[in-house]
Amino acid sequence: MLRHWEARYDLLGSSPDALEFAVEMDNDRIAHIRTGDGELGRKPEAALTFAATYRIGSGTAGNVGAETIYHLVYRRNKPDGIEGVRNPLAARGGTDPEPISEVKLFAPSAFRKQLQRAITPGDYARLAERHPGVQRAAAALRGTGAWYEVQVAIDPHGTETASAELLQEVEGCLYPFRRIGYDLRVMPARHVWLDIALDVCVKPGYLRGHVKAAVLGVFGRRLLPDGKRGFFHPDNQTFGDGIYLSRLVAAAQAVDGVESVRVTRLERQFEGPDQELENGVLPLGPLEVARCDNDPSFPEHGQLELNVMGGR
């Protein structure tokens, strides 16, 4: 049974049973026919054969000059009433294919300035950060077994715990931009509590207690007397930032009175070592943020152990 399929510019408005297709040109000027998927346009049956009828042109080379056409070619008998053929005017309208380089050069650039769709995980993070209550955001794509889910973690302003109202608001803001067929889940940042131990050697003439207090302050979560942030200040740690041994040593070594520093333990709290010392870094996932509160009232929120030697 023969069926006629209609060409369309795109299939976004095609019904599930519409016999419509779109033609796409690749960089080698080869045309490809794209049919529907059963939702946007009809999906062809298996083993269905197509016979295409099409026209091709020669671009500007086909724009013949005036008085250059004087032959009439006919298939069978010469039609009655035709004595001759001529073109008093030059042809026009033929267009050469636009080079890809020009397409990229003259393509609209407004979409690059104002993000209006979410395709990559980075797009979701950037869109989430538009919300006034979000300081930073990160996103990751996860397979659920049947489809995909985009997980967006947010770091709110002024607090370390995102409220349910904020999560709902951010999800509502992201929903119009999400990719069709992908689930969306907005969640708080995943905190990774750290267990760290340092050996600190104090220079002669310095009081060990004073140096220890200064080192603890450097690795704290508050602002230091000079206005700088502590190493584990919430604004210093962000999504996916691993904790490097070299940064820990450099921060402690910068304290006045410290002669040398050695990291003896760097691991996720209650999980044990995983070659962090050998690799020189404790890696984090894209939705994870490192924290080490070192609060005696909440020992499960990270610990920092200092073994201070030397000095007086």
pTM: 0.62
| Domain boundaries for CATH 3.30.300.30 within the chain | 114-188
* The residue type at 243: I
- The pLDDT of residue 110 is 60
**pLDDT 10s digits, 133-178:** 998 999 999 988 888 899 999 998 877 788 999 999 999 999 999 8
For residue 191, pLDDT over 80 is answered with: yes
Q: Which residues contact 11 (CB under 8 A, 6 or more apart)?
A: 20, 21, 22, 34, 36, 40, 41
220 Cβ neighbours under 8 A, 6+ residues apart: 230, 231, 232, 233, 294
* pLDDT tens digits, one per residue of 223-247: 888 888 999 988 888 899 999 999 9
Determine the pLDDT at residue 298. Answer: 93
One-letter identity of residue 286: P
Question: Residue 25: in which H helix or E strand, if any?
Answer: strand 20-25
Q: Which residues contact 94 (CB under 8 A, 6 or more apart)?
A: 57, 58, 59, 60, 61, 62, 63
34-92 pLDDT per residue, tens: 999 898 999 999 888 989 888 888 888 889 899 888 888 887 877 778 888 889 999 88
pLDDT at residue number 146: 80
| Contact criterion met (CB below 8 Å) for 174 and 124 | yes
CA dist 108 and 118 (Å) reads 18
Q: What is the mean pLDDT of the chain?
A: 90
* Residue 187 neighbours by CB distance under 10 Å: 14
* Residue 35 CB coordination number (10 Å): 19
* φ, ψ at 68 (rounded to 5°): -110, -10
Question: What confidence category does residue 112 fall into, taking pLDDT thresholds of 50, 70 and 90?
Answer: low
pLDDT of amino acid 258: 96
Residues, the chain, total?
Answer: 312
Give the closest residue to 52 by CA, choosing from 5, 97, 1.
5
Q: Is 153:187 a contact under the CB 8 Å cutoff? A: yes
Q: Is residue 111's pLDDT more than 70?
A: no
Give the list of residues 6+ apart from residue 48 with CB closer than 8 angstroms, or none: none
Report residue 132 CA to chain centroid gap: 20
From the number of C-beta atoms within 10 Å of its C-beta (0-12, 13-18, 19+), residue 103 rates as exposed
Assigned architecture for domain 114-188: 2-Layer Sandwich (3.30)
pLDDT at 205: 92
Tokens 């700088």, residue? 228
* Cα–Cα dist 107/103, whole Å: 6
Q: What is the pLDDT of residue 280?
A: 95
What average pLDDT does this structure show over 198-213? 95
pLDDT of residue 183: 92
Q: Pairing state of beta strands 148-156 and 134-143? A: antiparallel
